[in-house]
Amino acid sequence: MTIYPDGFTGALMAVESFEDGRAVLHGPGGCRGYHSYAISRCYSKARQGDYEKYSVPYFFGQPRVPCTYMDEDDYIHGSDHKIKESLPILCSDGDVFNVFIRSPGAALIGDNITDAIERAGFSDKAMAVEESLISQPFSSGYDHTVRTILKWMRPEKRGTLPGTVNILGLPISSNDWEDALEDLKHLLELIGLRVLSSPGAGCSRRDVSESVAAEFNVIVSSEYCARTAKFYEEEYGIPAISCDSGSPVGFDAVEEWIKTIASETGKSADRAEELIRDRRERVFRRIKGCLYTNKVKCNDFVAMADGSVLLPLIGWLYDYLGMIPESVTPDPGGDEETAVRIRSLLRSMGAEDAWRSDPASRKTDFAFADGHTAEMLEMTGSCFKGIDIGYPSLARTRFLPRPIYGLSGTMYLLDEIFSKE
């Protein structure tokens, strides 16, 4: 059984995706431990001396996700005093901005955090996401929170810089997102575009102020940025470029992604296509060299991921490697249009029955899923090999890049498939 992270987790993760952002959990301490650990795994901001620096109330030696530690009295009488008392300590840390996120329990009592922040005089260094996002999908909570932070920052637009873009929809929950970001930036540079900012993926408050000068926004995974992209377009007139084939996952979708962007921005994709062609040829030679020892054609698989990832992934596995989908399940939060395209693709493969079928009921060769689900399916014998392509990922410390987006993501997937052991 897959346990999907919710919008509350997505909100905390989105705040911490900003280089100088800090998520403050307004609630009891029990909600803090997992999120502090998980966020640190996704985006470490550790510096020497951190543990001494944060040996103060609300932090208790852990620099990520400080907490107001609400107790039973706060649930009865209100918790404004906890917010007011925490602000001088939280806002004394340089240029960091603090974003209060209510725990599911704290959301029930309806304290107005924004009002408490304003009355305490810290509205320039702290804000709150007032909505309760516990019932929302992870991606929706992530997108909503990034947009809310941008609205609070309200950067001023002074003009447009030709040939510049922002990257949207790359969450830090994605495996090795920093490597994916570098990969995609390189492809964009090859077609003559400069990346100003990547809201939701390691950018700073200063980067956000520069982002409003971009000529275009380019989308990686739409689930994580639909509202954010709309905000940029409505407030600053920056149009978003998305690709019908989904996220840049697999050779075909990576090429389609960069060609679509080149076409929309009036650039030539020749240099990027040359790089992709070179990688394709390298892989072809490698596959031909191991054809009789690592045969994957006609292997079957299950796939569970965001719809924008599933669409290009299953098409690439089928067309490029001859693999057959047995079960395809999109994560919560996707749009209906993408779901229709996936079902149409499965129909063209003669695999209509794969749509939302139980992945544990099939014994397949591969399972492409979040790390926990992939490992569970492998351990229970539902697949021969599970491949980690999403959050929650396996808690393993690795140093070689293992993203799923871009050319480096394609190489990771091929490496996992052809090391079937």
Which pLDDT tens digit goes with each residue over 69-89?
A: 999 898 888 888 999 999 999
Which of these three, 118, 136, 154, is where a domain ends?
A: 136
In a domain, 361, yes or no: yes
Confidence bin at 362 (pLDDT 50/70/90)? confident
Residue 33 confidence (pLDDT):
86
Range in 131-145, 279-293, 320-334 with the lowest mean pLDDT = 279-293
Residues 347-357, mean pLDDT to the nearest whole number: 96
* Residue 49 vs residue 63, higher pLDDT: 63
165 to 45, 161, 173, 191, 240: CA distances (angstroms)? 25, 9, 22, 12, 9
Same domain, 284 and 413: yes
| Peptide bond preceding 392 in cis form (omega within 30 of 0) | yes
In a domain, 291, yes or no: yes
| CATH code for the domain in which residue 223 is found | 3.40.50.1980
Same domain, 59 and 80: yes
pLDDT digits (tens, 9 = 90+) for 209-233: 999 999 999 999 999 999 999 999 9
Same domain, 294 and 411: yes
Strand order in the sheet with 164-168: 194-197, 164-168, 216-219, 240-241
Same domain, 116 and 252: no
Same domain, 306 and 343: yes
In a domain, 358, yes or no: yes
Same domain, 304 and 204: no
Amino acid (one-letter) located at 406: G
Confidence bin at 398 (pLDDT 50/70/90)? confident
Same domain, 411 and 288: yes
Residue 47 confidence (pLDDT):
66
Residue 22 confidence (pLDDT):
96
| Average pLDDT of the chain, as a whole number | 93
In a domain, 159, yes or no: no
* Residue 419 vs residue 291, higher pLDDT: 419
pLDDT of 29 > 90? The answer is no
In a domain, 236, yes or no: yes
Same domain, 360 and 308: yes
* Residue 178 vs residue 106, higher pLDDT: 178
In a domain, 365, yes or no: yes
pLDDT digits (tens, 9 = 90+) for 261-310: 999 999 999 999 999 999 999 999 988 877 655 678 889 999 999 999 99
pLDDT of 190 > 90? The answer is yes
Residue 94 confidence (pLDDT):
81
Confidence bin at 395 (pLDDT 50/70/90)? low
How many structural domains does the chain have? 3
CB atoms within 10 A of CB 353: 11
Same domain, 220 and 126: no
Confidence bin at 237 (pLDDT 50/70/90)? very high
Same domain, 282 and 409: yes
In a domain, 143, yes or no: no
pLDDT of 50 > 80? The answer is no
Q: Domain residues for 299?
A: 274-418
Which of these three, 268, 289, 316, is where a domain ends?
A: 268
In a domain, 1, yes or no: no
Same domain, 367 and 313: yes
SS (H, E, C) 94-143: CCCEEEEEECCCHHHCCCCHHHHHHHHCCCCCEEEECCCCCCCEHHHHHH
* Residue 80 vs residue 2, higher pLDDT: 80
What distance in Å separates the CA atoms of residue 372 and residue 228, rounded to the nearest whole number?
29
Residue 51 confidence (pLDDT):
62
pLDDT digits (tens, 9 = 90+) for 113-123: 999 999 999 99
Residue 182 confidence (pLDDT):
98
First to last CA, the chain: 24
What distance in Å separates the CA atoms of residue 373 and residue 153, rounded to the nearest whole number?
37
Which of these three, 247, 268, 289, is where a domain ends?
A: 268
Same domain, 406 and 387: yes
